[in-house]
Each structure stands twice: as structure tokens, then as C-alpha cells.
Chains A and B, each alone.
Chain A
Amino acid sequence: MKQAGIVIEMEHGRVKETSLGMITLAAKTVDSLTALVMDGMTENIADQLAEYGSHTIVDLALPDAPEIRLNPAVRATAVVHAVRELKLDRILGLSSPEGKDLLPRVAALLDAPLVMDCVDVDLSTGIAVTSQYSGKVMAQIQLAGDTLVFGIQPNAVPPEPAPVQPRIVAMAGNAAVPENFALLSWDDGDSAGRQSLAEADIIVAGGRGLKNKDNFSLIFECAGKLNAVPGASRVAVDEGWVPYAFQVGQTGEKVSPQVYIACGISGSIQHFAGMKTARMIIAVNRDENAAIMANCDYQVQGDLFEILPEIMRQL
């Protein structure tokens, strides 16, 4: 019988929805689900994990000190320790910013195969479905080995309650900081509390059509009103209107929100590479012949400087 270990991410003291979705996804093809919690167990978290079907909850009890707890090498070692102790042979985690710095470390330590950004997995056969060639191709990949590791695209599957009575296991004492790799400092920017692009439900993105940095604040304001996450095309980043962290596309973030609102973005092949999996695309563009207008769900031909303020006014 396959034993799946699921690396849990938290936010504001709760389990992330996207992590609960992974439990739902894993439960489709495996019977035994173990949640691995690194950032402090509470009753609240245990309840959430039980509600969504974790048979075992492991508290890896990393030290509170952030320079230890946030060191990805420390985290990877703790996960690998649990995997070996509990003989887990399928490991899932989010392809989130943290996951991209954790799961490949886990896979490298275990010398086990890994596929990142999976939109679907079959844990019994070891097949993962992921996009390749910058989102231009969907590939089915067969993993083989004793232990298989999967990075799951956030929002791949919505969480569904499946309550169980879990067993809770504490597994502390495995948090030595490696001598050759120290976390010196961390900066959560002004993003504390803001959702990441990869996990956003709504993204309002701006491109060259915004014309300058001052105007780009319109994107931030509109995103704020809609409870959305702001994004940008590479031109907006290269012009210095927003930091690189906002870039969507082949060489930026790959996103799949419920709704992607592209404002003053032409829809280059590289931009599409990052957002084509959005459930709904709304394009606001002056030019009805822009590439994005032919490959969206709603085309709004017009001036973004008129339409965005109207949206804000009417909300």
C-alpha cells in the first residue's frame, strides 16, 4: 500500500486552502495520508487537517527561531527524516515559492525523481501531469523509484471535506543547521498578508499600455478594490514600473487564477506561457487585433484609463 506524505503550508495560523486541496487530490489514488506540519501545531490546524482527511498528522516541531525554521535545508532534512521514519513513498508539496526551494532539496537528498507544477497525479501508478515548454505542452510523466516526489500546482484541485479521526505524532529533534548553509535574513516585503500570484483567485495585470510608473498604480488600486493580486508583463518590469516579482509569463510567474484581467497587455507568446491556464481571461485593450483579444473569454475593447476607474467607482 502506498503511503503519501503531504508537506503542509500555513498562512495566518491556518492551513492554506491550496494545501487542503493537495490532500483531496492525493486521496483519489492513495489510502494512507500523512500531513507533515513544520510551522507549529495547534488544535485549529489539527482540526482542519482531520476535516479534510489526514489519517496521520506529524508535527515536525521545528524550532521557533526563524533563522532555523525558515532555512530550506533544515526543512528538507526534517521532511526526509519523517519520510524515512514513517516509510512514506509518495511525497507531495505545493509548487509554491517555498515549495520550489524545498521539494527539489527533498528529492535531491532522497535521490528520488520529482515533477514540479503537476496539475494531476496518480499516486498508485506514479504518473504526473504537468505543463512543459513554457506552458505550450501538457506532458504525462511516469516516475519510477522507491520514493516519488510531486510538486502540485496550487489550486490544481479544490479542497473537499472528508473527515477522519487522525493519529497525531510528534517527531522533533532534527533541526541542525548545516555548517555550509545559513539563513542570514529574510524580508517579507510589503507583501505580508498579500496572496502570492501563484495562489491568487483574481489577478489584475498591466502592461506597456499603462505607459509609466505613476499610471501603474491604477493596477494596484484596481487590484486592491477587487481583492485581487496585481501582476505585470515583462515590459512593465523592464521599464522599472514594478519589481520582477510581479512578472507573469515564461520567465516570470506561472499562474492559474479563476480570473485573469489583462490590461494594456498584447498577449505575446511568452506572456501567455504564464497565464494561459487561467480559468477565465478578460482582456482590456484598445486594439481589437491584439493577440490577447483572439484568445480570451471576454474582450473589452477600449481605453484602460477609462474602464479601470469606472470599475473602481462602481464597486
Chain B
Amino acid sequence: MQIYVCVKHVPDSAANIHVLDNRKIDETVPFLLNPYDEHAVTEAVTLKKQVPDSEVIAVCLGKKDAESTLRSALAMGADRGVLVETDESCDSMTTARALHAAIDRDGLADIIFTGKESIDSEGMQTQFRIGALFGFPVVTNAASLEVTHDKATVTCELAGGRTRTFELSLPCVIGAGRGLNAPIYPTFPDVVKSRKKPIQTLSLSQLNMPAAPGSAKIVSMTPLVQKRNPQKITGTPAEQAAEIIRILRQEAKVLG
């Protein structure tokens, strides 16, 4: 089975984000593998173990530094990586075209894993666009997966404990959610081994993609710091509770 995993290089979730020139972020913070993509890689590697003669290929569109994210995927068990290198920041329409083109020239996909969303641009859409470009069915926020020769049965989470179970014909695209698995933590030997695994680098222009019929461009960015001015609610627990109820009734007006 030929299994592709799309992995994005994103700022560490714990990093403080600073905005520069009102339109981009200060990129001197640490960058990591997108958290949802860890679940995608983990599922791909698990599937490879179940299906003999499988290969897991991690694919990333990003700057030269994004190679470290591909290395993380390789340390988790992917066999090789493909980096589509660009210094531009690409919107989802272009990103999907690039990932589609890179996968298409690499081989015949049986399953393409992605995360359910990237934690930087929060697009929630690349998986669907890749699916549409290939003509493959897509699910997102997958919480369990079972693959039987030409079909995948996937349970996806909506909010509030609600789920939907789908049957997809392979090839298909699966957007991994947090419920899917516990991410593999690579051991030191895994990390050492991953250094010898191949990463092929392509340039975006090499892919010769047709232009997208639309775009999404950031025109401005502002840090979202909501300055709150905390007021203390003091007294005995009973007094504190009474004050909370008063605030809910009279200030927030959410209680009858």
C-alpha cells in the first residue's frame, strides 16, 4: 500500500506569537510538526505495520527549514520525505495543488492522511481540496479507522460526543483528529535512523501547476490580546457563590 501523509511545519503551540509590520508573524519562534499531523503520521505508520509491502511517504510544502518537520515524521516511522520548497506563504488552494502535484508525480496513492487542521492558518480545508483534485472521497476529524482491502471504515467526531461512521472506497483522504490514536514518541535510535532516510526536495515552480481560480491573501494581522481587568470576588464560599450568581444574572444577563 502506498500511504502518503501531509505534514505542515508550524510554530510551537506554546510559543508567543509576535506580529511584524501588521501583516506577518515573527518566525524566529520554534517550529514543529503540526499536532494533528502527528496523529496522521501515527495512523499511517500503524497501517503500514498491518499491510505488508507498504510505504509511508511524508509530504510537506514549506521553506527549507520545514525539512526538520519531515525529519520528525521520519523519526516516527515514515520511510521517506518529499519537500516542496517555497519561500512564499501559500493559501490553501495553492497548497492543495502543490501537495496534489507532488503526490501525483511520486506514485499512486492508496490513502492520503492529513491532519484535521493546521494550528497556524487554521484553514480546515486542505484535505478536502486534495480530495477534490484527485477525485477521492474525504473525511475529517477521524477518530477511528479500519482498512479492509479496498475500503476504509472511518468514525468521525462531531462535537458533543456525536459521531458519524462512513465507508470510503480507496483511494481516499483522511483528516486525522485527536481521537484517532496516541502519537508515537520516537526513541533516540529512531531519531538516529531517520537521519539516513531520504528526503527529496522539489521547488514549487518545478511542479508546473496551473494557477488556482481564486486566492486568500492576508491583508493585515493584529495580535489578539484581550486586556481584561480582573476583579476579585472575595468572602466565604457562600458569599463568593452569591456574587457569581448575581454577576451571571445582572451583568452577563445569562440567568433568568
Contact = CB atoms under 8 A, between A and B. Distances in A.
A113 B125 CA distance: 10
B50 interface: no
A308 to B, nearest CB: 8
Given A117-B122, A189-B161, A302 B228 contact: no
Nearest to A134: B119
B220 interface: yes
Contact of B119 (A148, A250, A279, A313): A250
Interface string B124-147: 110111011000111011010000
B209 interface: no
Interface stretch (A11-19, A21-29, A125-133): A125-133
Nearest to A313: B241
Interface in A86-100: 96-98, 100
A243 B223 CA distance: 32
Interface stretch (A33-41, A165-173, A196-204): A196-204
Given A113-B214, A186-B165, A133 B119 contact: yes
B217 A144 contact: yes
Nearest to B215: A144
Interface in B146-180: 153, 156-169, 172, 177-179
A191 B233 contact: no
Interface stretch (A56-64, A101-109, A156-164, A209-217): A101-109
A100 B127 CA distance: 12
B25 interface: yes
A101 B179 contact: no
Contact of A310 (B167, B238, B255): B238
A259 B237 contact: no
A97 B164 CA distance: 11
Main secondary structure of the interface of B (DSSP, over half): mixed
Interface stretch (A2-10, A42-50, A268-276): A268-276
B196 interface: no
A105 B179 CA distance: 22
Contacts, number: 270
Given A180-B172, A251-B119, A314 B241 contact: yes
A311 B122 CA distance: 37
B202 to A, nearest CB: 23
B142 to A, nearest CB: 11
A310 B119 CA distance: 39
Contacts of B252: 202, 258-259, 279-280
A277 to B, nearest CB: 7
B26 to A, nearest CB: 11
Interface in B192-244: 212-224, 226, 228-234, 237-238, 240-242, 244
Given A108-B125, A196-B160, A197-B159, A310 B237 contact: yes
Nearest to A201: B254
A101 B156 contact: yes
A183 to B, nearest CB: 6
Given A131-B224, A133-B25, A244 B132 contact: no
Q: Lowest 7 CB-CB distances: which A-B pairs, in order?
A: A145-B214, A189-B161, A310-B241, A191-B160, A108-B132, A181-B137, A306-B237
Given A250-B119, A281-B228, 14 more contacts: A70-B164, A115-B216, A133-B17, A137-B17, A138-B224, A146-B214, A181-B167, A184-B165, A191-B160, A202-B248, A245-B160, A245-B162, A269-B14, A299-B230
13 contacts: A104-B129, A113-B215, A137-B25, A137-B223, A141-B218, A178-B137, A186-B164, A189-B162, A196-B159, A269-B16, A276-B224, A294-B230, A295-B226
